[in-house]
Each structure stands twice: as structure tokens, then as C-alpha cells.
Amino acid sequence: MAKYLDRSADKASQQMIKQAEKDSVQLAWDRLEAMQPQCGFGELGICCKNCKMGPCRIDPFGEGAQVGVCGANVDTIVARNLLQHIAVGAAAHSDHGRDVAHTLSLVGNGHAHDYGISDSIKLKEIAKIYEIKTEGKKDLELAREVAEKALSEFGQQHGELKFASRAPEKRAELWRKLGIMPRGIDREIVESLHRVHMGVDNDYKNIIMHGLRCSLGDGWGGSMIATDLQDIMLGSPKPIRSKVNLGVLKEDHVNVVVHGHEPTLSEMAVKASSDPELLELAKKQGAKGINLVGMCCTANEILMRHGVHTAGNFLQQELAILTGSVEVMMVDVQCIMPALTNLASCFHTEVITTSPKLKFPGVRHIEFKEERAYEVAKSIIRRAVENYKKRDKNRVNIPKEIMDLVAGFTAEQVKTILGGRFRSTYRPLNDAIISGRIRGIAGVVGCNNPKIKHDWAHIEMVKELIKNDVIVLQTGCSAIACAKAGLMTPEAAMEYAGPGLREVCETVGLPPVLHVGSCVDNARILIAAAEVVKEGGLGEDISDLPAAGAAPEWMSQKAISIGTYFMASGVFTVFGGDPPVLGSKNVTDYLCNELEGIVGAKFAFEEDPIKAARMMIEHIDKKRAALKLTPSMRAKV
Ligand code: SF4
Ligand code: MSK
């Protein structure tokens, strides 16, 4: 098969990969090929470079060294490496949450005039969870107090994270009993780094249990703070129609791609892209207008709130530049390939960094300041407009592929859509699950990875799930993959869903696959699961639910943290590629078997997306049987 067909399931991406081959431009897939053979020790997680007595590596065939210079065995080394990944992922999400809380604090104190309070109902709800009195208080005063409380949870040393109280009581009690209730967000991350220092934690089970605690501080802490405080400031999403894939780039417009994760600046960039002064300037440059589109999770944020078009997911960031039509790619943090600037230098595209946490040598940096957010956004869009005249029109090659989707499904919105505006409730969802029209719920999330055909595993897995009446909630690049495949429209239910799910979708006009948002918005999935438990009739804990999670094309440390907090919250979770733990039989067995008896959920590793989907469905059926529910309309997979 031609390389470009093998590398991506997405037609627009195939076209650009073919173009790259013709132009001898290196992409992630080529760099992966050049990297072969990849280090087998690293793949298995059995190398350690935590101190200068090493690097040490364990012989997987049992003939050479079986312990590091310090005596650490394979179980310790593998578990420590895993904990390090979880800590890094949790840190990335949580630092995002911290920045959002900081912005809300500036808003409350009157120092960030470009933002305001967009959802005062949610502000009050969150204040209540933080046990802040709301009566007689103005929004800004409340915002100040909520922000302070949220910020204090990062450095909190004792007690429990407040948002963990949103989990079912039985789950919270289990976390307490196991000693894994997160105390403070930063505290669990720092303790993870302490434990992996040379000569600290040697017990692989003890190390992994702290990994669970650290990840819970992400899911029920940092990520949840990011999601909820963003909703308060920028608005809570509602179902919204939009378009996705590289075809959203426009030949006759100034194209600005915003890429990364944090929505604070991109929110202002959306506004600046319709600034009359800049539109006038764009016309003077010969462009018909300014076309701002998103990439990766920044895309998901502005899609959910404003319906801004999405150009693509992780493996399409280079492909967008290759179209020759991008004036500026504005990046914030996370999942920004260092390869971008080299590629951009072959075109007129300017990459602009905006966070002090992410710079490229020699690349223009326009630093984001919350206090003058709109001014910063405007200056970046202005640069894009001015760059339009440098575009080489002969090199413009924009794929035609474009797909409709509906996004904006939060835990609150699903409740309203199903229960009606005056009686928001999960009852109809629970009843549909109990009656078997909906067999179960799956969260399918995570990245792309050039080791797996781009988008293919997401699409195949999700199609298999909905065909079997499992409703799917999605975030991140996984959501973008399935949106491009046309799975996120109400009409998709007719074509792809099983009879039970189709009936439910048709009744309420819901797509069978719901776009729930960005990576931090996996917190919305946790809240939805907790709400379903609270509604009653499906057990007392998240682990009782006929539900499962998956990250079929994962690559980042954040995906490991997400998978871990899904599992620690009681959700059976399948990873599409093996996390680097297979070098230790004990660690693998602990994660994939023993933990089920401890936290009511475990991991599984399965690269074949159909097999993985069937494992999820089997698990869902097992939970249905335990709840003594009628078999679903499709009893057999
Ligand atoms: Fe080797 Fe132990 Fe140092 Fe790791 S901590 S590099 S296993 S000596
Ligand atoms: S952007 S973490 S590649 S989902 Fe959230 Fe996509 Fe994974 Fe980054």
C-alpha cells in the first residue's frame, strides 16, 4: 500500500502526506521511521537513569543484570517510570488549571478587564462546593473567593480536595480507606517526584498506589478546576454546529491556526479575528477576511464555546502548515511539535509562541498577559494579516475535506437535553440504560500516535461501540478524529448506531458520539459518571456502572494520567498501545488484574481497536449482569 494511505485514515491528511513525500518534507511518520529500531528497554520500561550510578537496564531475557547498581529490581524501575509519567501528565493538566484560577482571580480583583463572568449560575454552584457563602455577594466578589479557594488547593498540605466530594460517597470512602484521597494537587505531584528519587520507594504496589492518588489530584483537582473555572469565565458550552478538517482553511482569507490547550488567549484571538480595524487591514492586503481555526485541544475549547472551525488533531499540525495557506500558527502549551518551526521556515508561516513555559530558539515570542489579553491577541492577528502578502499562491494546496459536527455536550447539557429545560435530570439516560436501549457508556479519548494509522483506531473503536448500542463520550484528538469521520451529527445515529441507541438519539436529536471537549474536560466525563450514579438504579459507585474508557492512539504523559484517574475512579480502561510497563510481569499483573479487586477497575492493553471495543462491551455486559439488568437489545457482540 502506498505510504500515505498506510499512515492516515483521513483523506485530507493522506493528500498532505503525499504532498510532503513529493516535496521531500519530513513529517512525524518519517522521523518515526528514522528512529527505528526504537530502544527495546525503553519500550518495556526497564531502563533507569535516575542517578549517576546508572543508567541501568534490566536484561529482559534473564541472562544479564537483573538489578540496577543500587539494587533496584525490574518491578521498582518499571513502577517508578510509570509514576513519573503520571506525575508529568498530572502536572501539565494542573498547571493549566492553576493559570485559569489565576486569571479568575485577576478578573475578581478587577485586573483583567477583557474577561468577565459568563456563567454566574455555575459560579454559585462551584462556590457552594467550596463552602463559600453566596447570599448577597456580587459575581466579582464570589469569583475572587472561588479563585482563591481553587488556588489554595494546589498547595494544600492536608485534608481532601474539595471537588473529590463530587464523586459518589462510596468511591470517596474507598479512596480514604486506601489512603489515596488526594490532599493537595501539587503535593501529590511533588511526592511522586520524591518517591522516584534514587533510594526512596521500592515497593511497586506502593509506588503505583501513589500514582493513583496523584492522578486523582489531576482528574478531580487540576483538570476539574480548569474546566469549571473556564466555564465560569468564558461560558459553559451548549450544543453548537461547526465544521472540521483541513478544508476549513480558506484560500482567499488570512488563516490563523491556534494550537495547544489553554483557551484564555485563543478566546481573545477569536474576538480579535472580527475586529473591524484588522478586517479592514486584511482587505487592504487583498484578503477577503480573517479565518481563525483551531488545532488539538485549543481547537476543542473554542469549538465548544463558539463553534470555531477545527483544522485538525495532533498529527495534522504539520499538515496544516504544508497547505501553504497558514499565515500564523499561534501556540500556547502542550502537544506542540518542536518540528513545527523547521517546517514553517520552508513556507511563509510564522509560528508565534505566547507562554513563558514554551519557547523555540529564534522564534517570535509575543507573551500573553491576562491584564492586556485583547491587545496581545490583536497584535498576533495583526502579524498574521501583515504576513498574508508573503503567501506564495502557487504553493497553496488545501484539501477539500470538511465535515459537519455538533459539539458542546457538557455533563449539565446532557442532563438538560435528556430531561428537559425545566426538569434537568439524568433519569431518561438511566432508564434507557436500565431498559437496555443503551447498553452502556464509553469514554474514548486521547491522542494520535504515528505508530498507529492516524485516526483509524479511534474511528474503528467508536463505530464498533455505537453499533452495539454503547453511547460514546469523547474529548481531545480522539473527538476530532471521529468528528472528521462524520460520527458527531444526529444523522450519524441512523447510519452507524445499533437499534436501541438509534431510537434514543432520534427521540432527542442527539449524535451517538458526544463531543465533551478538550483533554482537561475529561473531568466532565467524571462528573457525568457521578451524576448517573446519583440518579439511581445503576449501583452505588462508578465501578458499578456499565461503562468503560479507552485511549486507542495515546502518546502523551497526560493520557497516562487520564487513564489512571479513570481507573482509580472505577472505570475499566483500555490503552491502544502498551504503556511501558510490560518489562515487569508483577507490575503488569497488578495493573491489569489485581487492582480490580482493590479499586473495582483495571487496565487492559490492546492495539486492535475492534478487539478493544469488544473487551469494553464484554465489561459493560458483565456490569449489566451484576446489576441484574435486562440484556441489551444486542445481547451478543
Ligand atoms: Fe541505576 Fe538505581 Fe541509579 Fe536507577 S537509581 S540509575 S537503577 S543506580
Ligand atoms: S491535544 S494530549 S495529543 S489528545 Fe489535548 Fe491531543 Fe493528546 Fe495532546
Q: Which three cell numbers stand for residue 85?
A: 509519567
Question: For residue 233, which of 101, 375, 110 has the smallest C-alpha distance?
Answer: 101
pLDDT at 405: 98
Ligand nearest to the CA of 226: 2
137 CA → ligand 2 middle, Å:
38
Residue 573: CB within 6 Å of ligand 1?
A: no
Q: How many whole angstroms separate alpha carbon 405 and alpha carbon 398?
A: 20
The DSSP output letter for 591 is: I
Ligand nearest to the CA of 75: 1
- List all residues whose CB is within 6 A of at least one atom of ligand 2: 261, 296-297, 313-314, 334-335, 446-447, 476-477, 518-519, 556, 558-559
Ligand nearest to the CA of 295: 2
CATH number listed for the domain at residues 246-395 = 3.40.50.2030
Partners of 515 in the β-ladder = 474
Q: Which three cell numbers stand for residue 378?
A: 490583536
**Side-chain half-sphere exposure of 207, counting CA atoms within 13 A:** 28
Q: How many whole angstroms separate alpha carbon 303 and alpha carbon 283?
A: 26
**Phi/psi at 465 (5° precision):** -65, -50
pLDDT tens digits for range 558-602: 999 999 999 999 999 999 988 899 999 999 999 999 999 999 999
Query: Higher pLDDT residue, 415 or 157?
Result: 157
Q: How many whole angstroms separate alpha carbon 616 and alpha carbon 574?
A: 8
Ranges for all domains in the chain classified under CATH 1.20.1270.30? 74-234
74 CA → ligand 1 middle, Å:
11
Q: Which atom of ligand 1 is nearest to the CA of 55?
A: 6
Q: Which atom of ligand 2 is nearest to the CA of 555?
A: 7
- pLDDT of residue 635 exceeding 70, the answer is no
521: Cβ contacts below 8 Å, ≥ 6 apart: 223, 227, 300, 304, 475
pLDDT tens digits for range 83-123: 999 999 999 999 999 999 999 999 999 999 999 999 999 99
CATH architecture of the domain with range 74-234: Up-down Bundle (1.20)
Q: How many whole angstroms separate alpha carbon 453 and alpha carbon 436?
A: 33
Which position has the grid cell 529482559?
60
Topology classification of domain 408-626: Rossmann fold (3.40.50)
Ranges for all domains in the chain classified under CATH 3.40.50.2030? 246-395, 408-626
**Phi/psi at 431 (5° precision):** -65, -40
Give the dihedral sign, CA 473/474/475/480: negative
pLDDT tens digits for range 352-392: 999 999 999 999 999 999 999 999 999 999 999 999 999 99
73 CA → ligand 1 middle, Å:
10
Question: For residue 171, which of 546, 533, 593 has the smallest C-alpha distance?
Answer: 533
Q: Which three cell numbers stand for residue 391?
A: 503567501
60 CA → ligand 2 middle, Å:
31
pLDDT at 633: 62
Partners of 407 in the β-ladder = 240
37 to each of 31, 34, 338, how far by Cα in Å? 12, 8, 22
62 CA → ligand 1 middle, Å:
18
Question: For residue 601, which of 625, 579, 569 has the smallest C-alpha distance?
Answer: 569
- Whole-structure pTM value: 0.97
- pLDDT of residue 217 exceeding 80, the answer is yes
Number of helices (H) and strands (E), helices first, in the chain?
Answer: 28, 15
